[in-house]
């Protein structure tokens, strides 16, 4: 498994240098990302390396939309018959969502961590916060399952469903299933860091748009929604009576984030070439130039994401 890159390392444009999870080399042909949450056999390999999840965690934390927290807190404070919060984290990875959110919410919390990778589940449970914003206790449990089979019964008693970088690797049917489960259980959903299909690089390059469009097409392969996922989720939740709020949550990558930028670039360009192999020769030159600028501290990148808060009509009483 590749080591976490450092800014002192020479740029390596080869696909082999991509940390699993940062690009298309993360999965064998036909595989889907970790957040599929499907029960797999003992020979299944993790699709996301902890190194990648660790590398992106600070950028994720800085990007998530704080403006959605106040309406969420108001809803959670008014949930009927709740003595503590039960929060389901779908596709939890190493648990970064819990580390970000649990210390920002008051009251006792029990987090149910879902992922298909038992190693990541163990890591997430061990590294989970233990104290809420007001000093209340935070506890955790882990589960393996499949988001495509999520039901309101599975979320019975849930106060909140959360996920990070989930929607864009789902199909429309899976998003409908997720919305049906959340609204059927009457619990809000905070779904963060879905790709928006836009990237701004400074300085610009003639190939930026071509690579971006090829990457977006790769995101939409095999029925996945990619950058169309937030629109689909808004429709799915709204059709089921939920109130939906959106906020931008871009990664802002500069010289201080050079290690993450380099890995993101390799994955971004690699996915574009996987989608359009005819780009390979020009894309290799493009990637080499971009990695050199990154190492020199001359490149900044704005990777656009969107955070979504869906406030479902609560069951069992008015909020």
SS3 state of residue 126: helix
- 230 vs 36, residue with greater confidence: 230
pLDDT(41) > 60: no
Check if the beta carbon of residue 183 is closer than 8 Å to that of residue 242: yes
pTM of the model: 0.86
Report yes or no on 208 lying in a domain.
yes
Is 2 inside any structural domain? Answer: no
Residue 62 maps to a domain: yes
Grouping H, G, I as helix, E, B as strand and the rest as coil, residue 42 is: coil
pLDDT at residue number 80: 73
Q: What is the pLDDT of residue 250?
A: 98
Q: For strands 243-248 and 189-202, give the pairing.
A: unpaired
61-82: pLDDT as tens digits:
999 999 999 999 999 998 776 6
Question: What average pLDDT score do residues 143-172 get?
Answer: 88
Give the 3-state secondary structure percentages of the chain, helix then strand then coil, rounded to 5: 45, 20, 35
pLDDT band at 315 (very low <50, low <70, confident <90, very high): confident
pLDDT at 317 over 50: no
**pLDDT tens by residue, 223-264:** 999 999 999 999 999 999 999 999 999 999 999 999 999 999
The residue segments making up the domain with residue 30 are 15-311
3-state secondary structure of 136: coil
Query: Which CATH number do you get for residue 169?
Result: 3.40.50.150
Q: What is the 3-state secondary structure (H, E, C) of 203-232?
A: CCCCCHHHHHHHHHHHHCHHHECHHHHHHH
Determine, yes or no, domain membership for 99: yes
Q: Where are the beta strands (DSSP E) in the chain?
A: 85-90, 109-114, 138-143, 160-164, 189-202, 243-248, 251-253, 300-311
Residue 33 counted as domain residue: yes
pLDDT band of 23, cuts 50, 70, 90: low
Angle between helix axes 208-219 and 258-275 (nearest 10 degrees) is 70
318 has pLDDT over 80: no
Is residue 9 included in any domain, yes or no? no
Is residue 6 a part of any domain in this protein?
Answer: no
The pLDDT, as a whole number, for residue 287 is: 98
pLDDT at 147 exceeding the cut of 90 = no
Domains held by the chain: number: 1
Say if 318 falls within a structural domain.
no
* Phi, psi values for residue 314, rounded to 5°: -70, 150
């Amino acid at each position: 498994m590749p080591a976490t890159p450092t800014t002192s390392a020479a740029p390596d444009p080869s696909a082999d240098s991509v940390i699993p999870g940062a690009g298309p080399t993360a999965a064998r042909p036909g595989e889907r990302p970790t957040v599929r949450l499907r029960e797999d056999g003992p020979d299944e390999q993790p699709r996301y390396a902890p190194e990648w999840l660790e590398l992106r965690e600070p950028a994720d934390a800085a990007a998530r939309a704080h403006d959605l927290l106040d309406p969420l807190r108001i809803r959670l404070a008014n949930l009927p018959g709740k003595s503590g919060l039960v929060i389901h984290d779908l596709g939890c990875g190493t648990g970064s969502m819990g580390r970000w959110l649990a210390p920002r919410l008051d009251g006792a919390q029990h987090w149910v961590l879902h992922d298909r990778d038992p190693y990541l589940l163990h890591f997430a449970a061990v590294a989970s916060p233990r104290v809420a914003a007001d000093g209340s206790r935070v506890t955790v449990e882990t589960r393996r399952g499949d988001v495509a089979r999520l039901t309101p019964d599975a979320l019975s008693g849930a106060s909140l469903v959360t996920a990070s970088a989930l929607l864009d690797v789902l199909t429309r049917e899976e998003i409908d299933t997720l919305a049906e489960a959340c609204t059927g259980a009457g619990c809000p959903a905070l779904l963060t860091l879905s790709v928006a299909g836009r990237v701004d690089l400074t300085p610009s390059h003639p190939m930026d748009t071509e690579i971006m469009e090829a990457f977006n097409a790769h995101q939409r392969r095999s029925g996945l929604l990619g950058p169309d996922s937030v629109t689909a989720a808004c429709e799915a939740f709204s059709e089921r009576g939920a109130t939906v709020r959106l906020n931008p949550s871009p990664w802002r990558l500069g010289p201080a984030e050079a290690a993450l930028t380099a890995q993101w670039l390799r994955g971004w360009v690699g996915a574009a070439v996987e989608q359009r192999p005819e780009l390979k020769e020009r894309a290799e030159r493009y990637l080499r130039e971009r990695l050199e600028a990154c190492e020199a501290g001359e490149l900044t990148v704005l990777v656009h994401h969107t955070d979504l808060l869906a406030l479902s009509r609560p069951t069992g009483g008015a909020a």
